Amino acid sequence: MNLIVLPPKFKVVMNTFAVVLMFLFHFYGKTLCQNGTRPNIVMVMSDAFDGRLTFDPGSKVVQLPYINYLRELGSTFLNAYTNSPICCPSRAAMWSGQFVHLTHSWNNYKCLDGNVTTWMDVLEANGYLTKMMGKLDYTSGSHSVSNRVEAWTRDVQFLLRQEGRPVTQLVGNMSTVRIMRKDWKNTDMAKQWIHKRAASSHQPFALYLGLNLPHPYKTESLGPTAGGSTFLTSPYWLKKVSSDLISVPKWLPMATMHPVDYYSTYTKNCSGVFTADEIKSIRAFYYAMCAEADAMLGQVISALRETGLLNNTVVIFTADHGELAMEHRQFYKMSMFEGSSHVPLLIMGPGLMSGLQVNELVSLVDIYPTVLDLAGISAVLNLSGHSLLPLLSKSSPFSKKQHPDWVLSEYHGCNANASTYMLRSGQWKYIAYADGLSVTPQLFDVTMDKEEFHNVVVKFPHVKAQLDKLLRSIVDYPKVSTAVHLYNKEAFGAWRESLGRNYSLVLANLRWHVDWQKDVLANEKAIDKWLYGSV
């Protein structure tokens, strides 16, 4: 990598002062703040935050005062996307600056090696005081056994509910503020670090705070293998939601769903009957959880203001993916629909424009080069993203490189029975598959069809051909899908071998245990047929 690393002690004598000034301007001139120092960089990354809530009309449904603060004093990206709509692969893309198919981050278990060089590592190597706390979730080996087995076996010919039915749970009263205690603990630690360490440092600093909110909570009643299907909040946060503005999304009939969407709906345990009140309640509770996350962002901003550091700090707020919250008859993520793939991205800082709404298509891999650009560090080779600073800077003596007019997102994990590749370009969202399924790609005009109900791939064959050609120029997606198939079989086979005689028992008691127990023998045979061929 082409990095500029300064010695720990940069001694300057009077007769070389002019030379040093030229050196500093060459590398740091683009981002010099009013006091002549490199900016501090603070990033708050939440989980499962629908990016459409950061601008109108979505922003009206719930009070998000600190996100609004960033909107007014910074820039809001109206078309920011995750590079993979699931926790670990998405964060792997953000930290590495590379697309998922390049890092082989296939699911929540298979992500980055522990020794990968993140943009935080680059900042530290170039003189920044760095701190990472809270949810990181980008290296291999995390998440539940159920989660990885469901991803590996997605090609098996059975249909099993893998998640708990989405439900709501109200706790406490109007004085109950701290619901997600782990997130609040990490937020308190971030505040303390800003007050005690950052404020006394003579170095520029970079702080990352990862939140779990507004990710749904684990549904304890479903046992030790349960996933997160409980939307939980208190009356205090629910009061921040404008109930009269909550929409009840329309659903297509199950019989008319795209086969991958049908599989997702069924495995997410959303194929049953839901009343309008249930759907509205789930959405209200989700928005309330977003309000609690916003308050944690506010604590970080307040700490920067209290220490006098805010004017010299770039603040970034984003998320790993969104949350469907019962749109398209689904909750959770793992989908290329807007609720799942559209993420928030707001950036505020010295020398950056205020009140700006950026229409360009961007994605999480753009954060790596943007942070380096802000810090005046020369670009690392082989990054998938591009710096967003030319879109934000009030003035720059450097030529503004045009940002690509497309974004790529891909998905290879559980709750979808095919690798999914989404290319967003202009008004179009193109979703392609290459898993041997006899399914058509999807094409949505997201400006005319905001609800993404009308697949117009047959109506616009020339658009499909053009976008598919562009997609293949970015990623050889049939080849990638083949690699994922091979990985799934090899990983599952190794896991099976490691269990020995316990294999059947462990398999039968994963998150799908309710449906599994209906026909254990048939389900095991289906896995054997997938793994070994005819049985």
Is 414 an annotated catalytic residue? no
Burial class (CB in 10 A: 0-12, 13-18, 19+), 220: exposed
Beta strand extents in 29-109 (DSSP E only): 40-46, 75-77, 80-81
Please tell me what DSSP assigns to residue 93: H
What's the alpha-carbon Rg for the chain, to the nearest Å?
24
Please tell me what DSSP assigns to residue 198: I
Q: Give the span between the Cα atoms of 324 and 331, in whole angstroms.
A: 5
Catalytic option among 33, 87, 88, 270: 87
Burial class (CB in 10 A: 0-12, 13-18, 19+), 252: middle
In DSSP notation, 249-274 reads: -----GGGS-HHHHHHHHHTT-SS--
Q: Helix, strand or coil for residue 151?
A: helix
Backbone φ and ψ for 196, nearest 5 degrees, come out as: -95, -35
Please enumerate in sequence order all residues whose Cβ is within 8 A of that of 129, keeping only pairs 6 or more positions apart, or say none: 197, 198, 201, 203, 204, 205, 206
Residues forming a β-bridge with 132: 208
> Do 86 and 154 touch, CB atoms closer than 8 A?
no
Q: Give the span between the Cα atoms of 388 and 12, in whole angstroms.
A: 33
Closest CA to 304 of 353, 347, 345, 349: 349
Which two structure tokens, joined as six digits, stand for 522? 């048939």
Which two structure tokens, joined as six digits, stand for 64? 């998000």
Beta strand extents in 388-499 (DSSP E only): 406-411, 420-425, 428-433, 442-445
- Token pair 């770039």 is at which residue? 314
Q: Which residues of 151-162 are buried (b: 16+ CB within 10 A; e: fewer)?
A: bbbbbbebebbb
Q: Which amino acid is at 528?
A: D
- Token pair 């697309």 is at which residue? 99
Q: Is 433 left (phi over 0), alpha (psi -120 to 50) or beta?
A: beta
Active site residues: 87
